[in-house]
Copies of this chain bind each other. A is one copy, B any other.
Amino acid sequence: MSDQKAQLTQSIEAQGLKVRQLKSQAAEKTAIDAEVQILLGLKKELATLEGADKKSNDTKPAKKAGKSSFTLKTAKGTKDYNDKDMAIREKVFNTITKVFKKHGAVTIDTPVFELKEILAGKYGEDSKLIYDLADQGGEECSLRYDLTVPFARFLAMNGKEYPNIKRYQIAKVYRRDQPAMTKGRMREFYQCDFDIAGSYDSMIPDSEILRILCEALTNLDVGKYTVKINHRKILDGIFEVCGVPEDNIRPISSAVDKLDKLPWADVKKEMVEEKGLASEVADKIGEYVKHKGGRDLLEMLLKDEVLTSNANAAAGLAEMGTLFDYLEIFDVMDKMSFDLSLARGLDYYTGIIYEAVTEKSAPPKLAEGVLPKKKSGTDEFDESTVGVGSIAAGGRYDNLVGMFSGVNKKGVPNLQIPCVGVSIGVERVFSILMSKQKTEEIKSNETEVYVISVGDGLLKERMQIAKELWDAGIKASYMFKNKPRLDKQFDVCEKEMIPFAIFIGKDELEKGEVRVKDMRSKDESQKGGVTIKHADMIKEMKARLESL
């Protein structure tokens, strides 16, 4: 831990310097604020680390002394979601699920752990982040790292039954990453995937995926968003015509992928100095990847004879044209930004690729030469220094299922099921929505009616009323006390934002009456509520609840 602390302390100093510099340069307020946020995040991380150190120091001697004391916490990188968190989370899941179901999706569920060999060789460098189960005799297993690989495994096993499927899955995945709680990056987090598997005519499922993504983001109310879109074949064609050697195409592609975080000069440096690309080749690439646009960009590229003479590029551009036609019908073309600098990290994409960003998730702009912090021991950038990043991402991956199906004598996979999909970063959506809402305004239970006694305790009578409400499907509660105080019962209604109360008193019950009150009403004349016949209670409450 002390290594980590030393590193953090260093980062805090560097970040502090940057903030002071910006201030002295009278930089824009938003730019300074962004850097200050990063600084505060780093400080909070350090405090957490120090807290954990302290706690484990406190605990260890007690343990040695044989006491049953221990650290009362959740495991590193995991957290509990309380009732308010879950209320927002359920709303997010329901919104997304509704969109998925509207498009005919089914859901499947795969186990939280897989055989280790299923995950092996799928995530490149990131494989080191995979959680393994202990060897307790039996098979070697690992917690799932994403939902895509288990889905491909499912298709490879059940491809005969499911030659095509539209499926969604909302489930937790696990990565032994350095947690950055301040930015919502955890070791356990939800993914929310929608994929269409099957052999179909070109770009039809692809366009539906993009329509679904836009419906979901619009309904989630995350603010203005843009879907950056590109095509692996166009990108590969560009690399080929610029003169990138074949075995350097993926490394160069992953350098291009950093263009949303780094200025061109730094990316070029990586290409030339680290990856040995000729400077003039890099410059040619630089000319291409600076372009963003829509139809206009596509038309410009179609006029580029060097590019269109490349088979990959020509195929990619043709598909892009078809896709744009479909996206126009689906009325989502205005959300798209055809962006030649989008490359996406994962190797398995074979066709269109995309990434949605919102204004709130866009990384802070860095000045040339200022590098974002890298994750310790890796070559990846620490997202805590570059904004929350994309809010959804995906693409077409036609060969992943084949990796699981084995190959025949000719080396051809026994089963190929082309797929296209999207994964919505619900944790990020969740952070955006939580920041828009005051915690105390979130109603986490759905109780509609509180049954209140006036004067006496009347426990059995309250139980009887509650039972009648439950029988009618009305969400009702009462206080679990023999003789509750009236003010305490009022407090519950207010705290839990329960819209209606039914008051019972001895005299009224004997007359076969109860009182109903709208607890949200500020109308003084309605202060005491309305007396109704007990026999009419259900009818009355149903009518009131319907008009909510």
> Are the C-beta atoms of A71 and B115 separated by less than 8 Å?
yes
Check if A309 is an interface residue, CB within 8 A of chain B. no
Within 179-218 of A, Cβ neighbours of B (below 8 Å) are at: 188, 196, 198, 200-201, 204-205, 207-208, 211, 215
Check if A166 is an interface residue, CB within 8 A of chain B. yes
> Are the C-beta atoms of A480 and B115 separated by less than 8 Å?
no
> Of the candidates B83, B204, B330, B470, which one forms a contact with A106 in the assembled complex, judged by CB atoms under 8 Å apart?
B83
Check if A21 is an interface residue, CB within 8 A of chain B. no
Within 77-121 of A, Cβ neighbours of B (below 8 Å) are at: 78-83, 85-87, 89-90, 101-115, 117-118, 121
Check if A464 is an interface residue, CB within 8 A of chain B. yes
* Bound form: Cα–Cα A161–B232 in Å: 51
Contacts of A200 in B (CB 8 A): 480-481
Check if A482 is an interface residue, CB within 8 A of chain B. yes
* Bound form: Cα–Cα A164–B207 in Å: 49
> Are the C-beta atoms of B136 and A133 separated by less than 8 Å?
no
Contacts of A314 in B (CB 8 A): none
Also in contact, A157 and B106, with CB within 8 A (given A136-B132, A470-B215): no
* Bound form: Cα–Cα A300–B172 in Å: 53
Contacts of A86 in B (CB 8 A): 106-109
Check if A325 is an interface residue, CB within 8 A of chain B. yes
Also in contact, A104 and B482, with CB within 8 A (given A112-B188, A115-B75, A330-B467): no
Which of the segments A26-34, A364-372, A442-450, A526-534 contacts the partner chain?
Answer: A442-450
Chain A 439-469 near chain B by CB (<8 Å), digits 1 or 0: 0000011110000000000011001100100
15 A-B pairs whose Cβ atoms sit less than 8 Å apart in the complex: A72-B406, A76-B138, A78-B111, A81-B109, A82-B108, A82-B162, A86-B108, A101-B445, A104-B445, A106-B445, A132-B133, A201-B480, A208-B480, A326-B463, A329-B460
- A-B pairs, top 10 by smallest CB distance, nearest first, are A78-B111, A83-B106, A200-B480, A132-B134, A81-B109, A104-B477, A204-B480, A104-B447, A106-B444, A70-B117
Residues of chain A whose beta carbon lies under 8 Å from any beta carbon of chain B: 68-76, 78-83, 85-87, 89-90, 101-115, 117-118, 121, 131-136, 138-139, 141, 143, 153-154, 156-158, 161-162, 165-167, 172, 174, 176, 188, 196, 198, 200-201, 204-205, 207-208, 211, 215, 325-326, 329-331, 403-406, 444-447, 459-460, 463-464, 467, 470, 473-477, 480-482, 496
